[in-house]
Amino acid sequence: MTSEYPAVTSRPLAGYRVLDLTTFLSGPFCTQILADLGADVVKIEAPDGDSSRSIPPHFVGDDSAYFLSTNRNKKSVAMDLKHPEGVSLVKRLILESDVVVENFRPGVAHRIGLDIDELRRTKPQLIWASISGFGQTGSDRDKPAYDMIVQALSGVMSLTGEPGRPAVRLGIPAGDMVAGMYAAISINAALADRERSGAGRVIDISMLDCQLAMLSYQSAYTLIAGVTPQPQGARHDSIPTYRSFIGSDGREIVITANTERMWRGLCEGLGLAELCRDARFADGAARLQNRDALWLVLEAAFSTRPAADWVEPMTQNGVPVALIKTVTEALDDARISGREMIVSLSDTDGHRIDLVGNPIKFSGGESVEPEYPPKFGANAQHVLSEWLDLDQEVIDDLMTQNVVLSQRKCTA
C-alpha cells in the first residue's frame, strides 16, 4: 500500500547545530532526542571522556552499554577545558551553534570561562539550556543531585512500593530522563519562538522541578484535599479496579477497568455478573469505599487460572488488560510490533548493537538511518574544519598540545 504522505528526506531539526557540554544521563538523553530529530549534535568531552563511557558491567569495545544507550547520532570532540586554548575553541564553537546544552553545577560554566551573558551579547540568537539538580536559582542551587536524590526529595519514591514497606526507587532513571525530556521540549519551543522574534532564550531546567511536575494528580490530592498520598504498589488511589492481580501460575496481570462499561465487562469476563448487582459496588465511589471487600473477590477469581488465560476473556469484554512482562519480553515484542522501536547500529570497527529507537514518528516515514554513538574524540577533524574552518596544520598543532585529544586519558 502506498502512503498518502510523501517520503521525507530529512528530519525536522536538520540544519540546526547543537553543542553538547553534558555528561552522564540527563543532558545526553536531551541531546539524543535532538539528534534523533535531525540536529547536528557535537558532544564536547573532557580528556578522560564522558564518565558514563566507563560504567560497568556491560561493554562493547571500549564503551559501556550505558553510554551507548543515550549518545547515538552525535559527533564527539575531546578538549581540555583547563587549557585556555580549549576554552577559546569551545567559545568559537558556541558562536557557531544554535543551541548549547550543559549540565554543569550552577556557576561552573562561568568559572571555566564560559560567560553565558557575554556569549549571548555576541550572539543574541543563541539558545542556552542548563540542566541541574535544583536549578540556577534558589537555596539548594549548589547542592549535587542524582536521579535517586530527586526521586527521594520530590516524593516520588514515597509513592513507589508496597504499603507498609520501605520506599522503592523507580526502575527507570526518571529523575534524569524526565529532566532531559523537559529540556528538549523547551529547546524546541525556544527554536520556534526564535523564528518569530529572532532572539534566543536561556533555559533553566531543574531535575527536582521536573519530578514535582510529574506528581500529576497526586500533587493535586495533597494541595487541594490536604492528604498525603501513600505507596500504591500496583494499585490506584482512586480506581480499585485499576491494579494488578496474580494468576494461578504466579504471573501478574494488569486490569484497568476505569469506566462503568469496563466494570461490567470485568464482571462478565470473570463469570461474576452478580457483582454488578451488589449494592456495595454500585458505582465508582461505592467500589472505592468497599475496595477491600471487592479485592478479596477479584483476587480469588483471578487466582483460579494462569494469568495469560485471562487476557482473551478480558479483551472480549472490552477490559484493557496486559501481562506484566520482563524487559526481555517487552523488547522481543517490540521487534515484531512494526513500530521500528529496535534499531541495529554498526560502527567502523565491526561492532554491532541493538538499541531502543526514537519513539517520535512523523508522517512520511523515517528515511535517515540512525548512527552508532561516536567514538571518543573521533570527529574533531570534521567539526573543527567544518564549523571553524581550521586547516589541518592548526588542528594537528592543537592535538600535539593535547588541547584536542583523540584518545582518552586514563585517570586511574
- Note every long-range contact of 167-170, with CB atoms under 8 Å and residues 24 or more positions apart, other chains counting: 167/231, 168/231
Query: Which one, of 206, 228, 205, 208, lies nearest residue 153 by Cα?
Result: 208
Q: Where does 22-107 show beta strands of DSSP type E?
A: 40-45, 59-60, 63-64, 74-79, 99-102
CB-facing half-sphere around the CA of 4: CA atoms within 13 A: 0
Integer distance in angstroms from the first to the last C-alpha of the chain?
57
State how far the Cα of 11 lies from the Cα of 210, in Å rounded to an integer. 27
State how far the Cα of 179 lies from the Cα of 133, in Å rounded to an integer. 9
* Phi, psi dihedrals of residue 102, rounded to the nearest 5°: -140, 150
Q: Which grid cell is 245?
A: 492481580
Helix ranges (H only) for 249-345 are 260-270, 284-289, 291-302, 311-316, 327-335
Query: Residue 159 to residues 169, 213, 233, 245, 265: CA-CA distances in angstroms?
Result: 10, 14, 8, 19, 29
Amino acid identity at 24 = F
| Contact yes or no for 25/173 (Cβ under 8 A) | yes
Query: Residue 345 to residues 56, 68, 373: CA-CA distances in angstroms?
Result: 21, 10, 9
Catalytic residue among 176, 209, 309, 389: 176
Q: Which grid cell is 172?
A: 527507570
In the DSSP assignment, the letter for residue 127 is: E
Residues in the chain: 412
Whether residue 57 is preceded by a cis peptide bond, meaning omega within 30 degrees of 0, is yes
Q: Which grid cell is 249?
A: 501460575
176 has catalytic annotation: yes
Return the SS3 of 124.
Answer: coil
State how far the Cα of 4 lies from the Cα of 145, in Å rounded to an integer. 48
Q: Which grid cell is 150?
A: 530527586
- Residues with active-site annotation: 176
